[in-house]
Amino acid sequence: MSVKILFKNATVFPITSRPFKGDVLVSNGKVEKVGENIEDPDAEIVDLTGKFLFPGFVDAHSHIGLFEEGVGYYYSDGNEATDPVTPHVKALDGFNPQDPAIERALAGGVTSVMIVPGSANPVGGQGSVIKFRSIIVEECIVKDPAGLKMAFGENPKRVYGERKQTPSTRMGTAGVIRDYFTKVKNYMKKKELAQKEGKEFTETDLKMEVGEMVLRKKIPARMHAHRADDILTAIRIAEEFGFNLVIEHGTEAYKISKVLAEKKIPVVVGPLLTFRTKLELKDLTMETIAKLLKDGVLIALMCDHPVIPLEFATVQAATAMRYGAKEEDLLKILTVNPAKILGLEDRIGSIEPGKDADLVVWSGHPFDMKSVVERVYIDGVEVFRR
């Protein structure tokens, strides 16, 4: 039996087209029609007169459910900081879908996130895209694995330098990563040779298997880098080994924005509305968004939850308007842009026929601090009501 919901009389923000006053028809978890004066006698009517209807917001870099609220850093599951190379660990296995922060994230209009391990290790582990639709992890998964988290800069230096262990410098971090991918290439050659000789390959190594996915461009490397020189090192290594990458944080990305635009390298920027807690953040500025967009870099905006709680995603974005960013662009970097970076623009990030019915009912515009989320639907099912 078809399950249909007809949202009537809303101010609809499709994101990929101009806002309008009208209707959205949802059928079996997908958007079926978007327009004016839609009628369907089989649909449940939800009258949204005076309300705003947006797609669910998407955060392409989050630690929600890993660094849980009320647990404390030392009891969290975000960093396997025992070995500089841990590609075989999965954020999904540490994710707690009962983290109380998730309900608050829904109350902020966020429905989809990419969860990633922290940045203790140069090669940190696999990330996954999830939706906040269940307390059963398997029912949350949208894409797994969705990328291999890696890290440059101060974090790996601090974690392993304090132990008098490699890497204690930026040179060491780059060396660890190069060494890993060199071993992956050799592993791939050994596997290919066995196949050519018609032999069974019996030396399966989980660490190498993940690296092979990166080198075969099945998943991108998600590279934590704040300083401009670290970003360029990440790019240099990616080009040496021929894999796809996304820059995470990109605090100084605005200093090399033309390079990023020319090489078509996306950046998940942020958090920007935060305290400069370490040296590599000293040049952090909210103007980063406007500068990167001006030069044509594909960007999304992260909260880096729990650094900025996900419920305040719109607060961070709206603040950027004070620093030259435009409302239309900011709405895209909360929705369709992260969807593109995640390779999920055919499913999430906008209100269009055929896409997932991840819809958020706001009392007013999300950038108006008086506005609140009244209802949230994921795949056409109500998951939050104020």
Q: Residue 119: pLDDT above 90?
A: yes
DSSP 253: G
Average pLDDT over the chain, rounded to whole?
97
- Asked if 92 and 3 sit in the same domain, the reply is no
Please report, for the domain that includes residue 362, its CATH number: 2.30.40.10
- Asked if 45 and 142 sit in the same domain, the reply is no
Q: Considering only CA atoms, which of 74, 164, 84 is closest in space to residue 119?
A: 84
- Asked if 34 and 117 sit in the same domain, the reply is no
Question: How many structural domains does the chain have?
Answer: 2
pLDDT digits (tens, 9 = 90+) for 33-60: 999 999 999 999 999 999 999 999 999 9
What's the domain range around 285?
A: 57-348
- Asked if 64 and 47 sit in the same domain, the reply is no
Alpha helix positions (H), 141-221 = 154-161, 170-196, 206-215
Q: Residue 70: pLDDT above 80?
A: yes
- Asked if 46 and 70 sit in the same domain, the reply is no
- Asked if 367 and 263 sit in the same domain, the reply is no
pLDDT digits (tens, 9 = 90+) for 367-382: 999 999 999 999 999 9
- Asked if 173 and 319 sit in the same domain, the reply is yes
What is the structure's pLDDT at 2? 63
Mean of the pLDDT values across residues 16-43?
97
What is the structure's pLDDT at 325? 96
Q: What are the DSSP E strand ranges found in 28-160? A: 30-35, 44-47, 52-55, 57-62, 110-115, 123-131, 141-151
Model confidence band, residue 1 (pLDDT cutoffs 50, 70, 90) = very low
What number of residues does the chain have? Answer: 386
pLDDT digits (tens, 9 = 90+) for 238-272: 999 999 999 999 999 999 999 999 999 999 999 99
Q: Are 148 and 222 in contact (CB under 8 A)?
A: yes
Model confidence band, residue 151 (pLDDT cutoffs 50, 70, 90) = very high
- Asked if 238 and 311 sit in the same domain, the reply is yes
Mean of the pLDDT values across residues 336-353?
98
Please report, for the domain that includes residue 84, its CATH number: 3.20.20.140
CA dihedral 352, 357, 360, 365 (to 10 degrees): 0
- Asked if 81 and 50 sit in the same domain, the reply is no
What is the structure's pLDDT at 329? 98
User: 3-class SS at 166?
Assistant: coil
Of the listed ranges 31-40, 67-76, 207-216, 319-328, the one predicted with least confidence: 67-76
- Asked if 276 and 355 sit in the same domain, the reply is no
Q: Cα–Cα–Cα angle for 170, 154, 157, nearest 5°?
A: 60
Mean of the pLDDT values across residues 200-224?
97
- Asked if 212 and 359 sit in the same domain, the reply is no
Return left, alpha or beta for 339; rule: phi > 0 is left, psi -120 to 50 is alpha, else beta. Answer: alpha
- Asked if 27 and 104 sit in the same domain, the reply is no
